[in-house]
Structures are given as C-alpha cells and as structure tokens.
C-alpha cells in the first residue's frame, strides 16, 4: 500500500501522520522534541496555561516545536465546566494561529471521563464561533453521533481512562462508533503499549492520540518509535483485511504429492 498517500483528512485539512501525540509529562523540552520526532507525529497537543511572569527564564515550548513544522492542537484539559472549556478554547485560538481545538469537558478527577452532556453543549457554542472542534468523548456511539450531527468533523473516543494504560476496554463500542459515524475516529487516551495502538488501527480507527504511553515509558524515545511502527502496522493490516477466525486448523501445505 502507498503509505505516503494514505492521508487522513479532517475538515478539508490533510494530516500526514496517523499518530498524534501529547506534549505533557516529559522530563524537559529537549526530550519532548526528541520523542515527537522519533514518533513521526505531525499533530501535537498542548495545554493553555498562565505564563510564569515572575520567572521569565523558563523556556517556551514553541521554541522547540516550530508551529510551521507541527500542527499545534490546543486542548481544554483541566476544564470541568462548559464555561471553562469555552473560555480556554477562545484563549487557545487567541494564542495560536488556527481554529482547531481538542475539546475536553471532564466529569470528575478520579476517572477524567468526559462529561458528555457538557461536551455537546460546549461544542455547539464553539462550532457556532467557527472553531474546528475535535471532541474527546466516551466510547459511546450515541454521543459520537450527536457530536457529528452538531458539526464535529471527527470524534475522539477514549480507549480507557486518560493515563491508565489499560488499552482498548470496549472494542465493540469502538467498532459501533466507526460504523455509526462517517467522520474520522481518533482513539484518544488509555493506550499502554504498541500493541494497543496497532489494535486500534486494525479495528479501523483513523488515528490514535497518546501521551503517557510514550512520555511515561522507561525509554520514551524507543516507545515513540515503537508507536510509529505500530500505527502503520495496524493501518496496513486494516487495509489488507484480516483472515476470518476459525475454530479448526486449515493446512497451509498441499496434500497432493505426499507419499
């Protein structure tokens, strides 16, 4: 398969990489950049926070991640209300250069599961203001459909709780979401290792977004590279079409010609 031309398109924008990565939890910006380069990711998520005005010696993330080279996807991480999420999205747009936002409205601190009612409400407001809203949502096909109905050009269902590394907890729901909505599906959160990412792609996900699985690995650079191959392996396997599962054996060698 021509992997170069197998592009992901969201809201008319072309994305060269199907692995999207977060930029949190790294030791320093140097490691962040090295890991992102090893992963081959083009889309990188960032958070929006107050500038440290008392210690200006702190470096800026954008000194390391050139917005001309990477697609900077701001998130509304840490927002638990519609008002906060909308406020942060507007600030992200003002600080950056695009209308893209990864919208998170969280339900509680223990699970970090999305508050899907709040998510839909916030998405409606932002879409009306011209944002391209990529919503972090539950693995719920009905919510995914509603998000698409109100104008989200992609949906980002979780595989498992953020940072849990549990892998895909409900592959059947993910498959139903993929059948239900006709927009790209980006599996977001919960991936633990390369096989989780490959599985998500084999199921038919269009991309996978992860952070902790790479940043928290003992060797983040090696894991970033592993994820790059896993995403492509999964994508290729999905496009190739796997064999059906059967209970009994089927010989691969012919019987004919045997003594």
Binding site for other proteins (CB under 8 A): 21-26, 29, 32, 45-51, 53-54, 56, 60-62, 72, 74-75, 77-78, 90-96, 104, 106, 112, 136, 162-163, 188-189, 209-212, 215
Decide if 36 contacts 224 (C-beta within 8 A). yes
SS3 call for 133? strand
CB nearer to other proteins: give 202 or 208: 208
Q: How far is CA 89 from the centre of its chain?
A: 18
Q: What is the C-alpha to C-alpha distance for residues 45 and 136, in angstroms, rounded to an integer?
A: 12
Decide if 174 contacts 205 (C-beta within 8 A). yes
Min. distance of Cβ 41 from other proteins in angstroms? 12
> Is 128 annotated as catalytic?
no
Min. distance of Cβ 86 from other proteins in angstroms? 11
Q: Which two tokens stand for residue 192?
A: 């633990």
CB nearer to other proteins: give 42 or 202: 42
Min. distance of Cβ 95 from other proteins in angstroms? 4
Decide if 122 contacts 103 (C-beta within 8 A). yes
CB nearer to other proteins: give 40 or 202: 40
**From the candidates 33, 102, 146, 228, which is the catalytic residue?**
102
Min. distance of Cβ 226 from other proteins in angstroms? 17
Q: What is the C-alpha to C-alpha distance for residues 190 and 170, in angstroms, rounded to an integer?
A: 11
SS3 call for 110? coil
CB nearer to other proteins: give 57 or 250: 57
Active site residues: 102
């Amino acid at each position: 398969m021509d992997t170069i031309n197998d592009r992901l398109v969201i809201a008319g924008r072309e994305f060269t990489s199907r692995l999207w990565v977060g930029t949190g939890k790294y030791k320093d910006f140097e490691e962040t950049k090295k890991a992102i380069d090893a992963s081959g990711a083009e889309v990188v998520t960032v958070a929006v926070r107050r500038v440290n005005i008392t210690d200006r010696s702190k470096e800026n993330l954008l000194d390391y991640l050139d917005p001309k080279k990477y697609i900077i996807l701001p998130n509304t991480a840490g927002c638990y209300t519609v008002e906060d999420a909308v406020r942060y999205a507007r600030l992200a747009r003002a600080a950056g250069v695009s209308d893209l936002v990864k919208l998170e409205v969280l339900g509680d601190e223990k699970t970090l599961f999305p508050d899907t009612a709040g998510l839909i409400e916030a998405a409606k407001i932002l879409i009306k203001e011209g944002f391209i809203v990529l919503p972090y949502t539950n693995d719920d096909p009905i919510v995914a459909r509603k998000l698409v109905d109100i104008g989200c050009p992609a949906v980002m269902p979780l595989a498992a709780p953020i940072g849990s590394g549990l892998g895909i907890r409900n592959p059947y729901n993910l498959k139903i979401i993929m059948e239900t909505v006709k927009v790209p599906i980006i599996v977001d959160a919960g991936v633990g290792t390369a096989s989780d990412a490959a599985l998500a792609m084999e199921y038919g996900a269009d991309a996978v977004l992860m952070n902790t699985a790479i940043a928290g690995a003992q060797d983040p650079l090696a894991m970033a590279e592993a994820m790059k191959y896993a995403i492509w392996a999964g994508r290729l396997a999905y496009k190739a079409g796997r064999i059906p599962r059967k209970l009994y054996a089927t010989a691969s060698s012919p019987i004919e010609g045997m003594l």
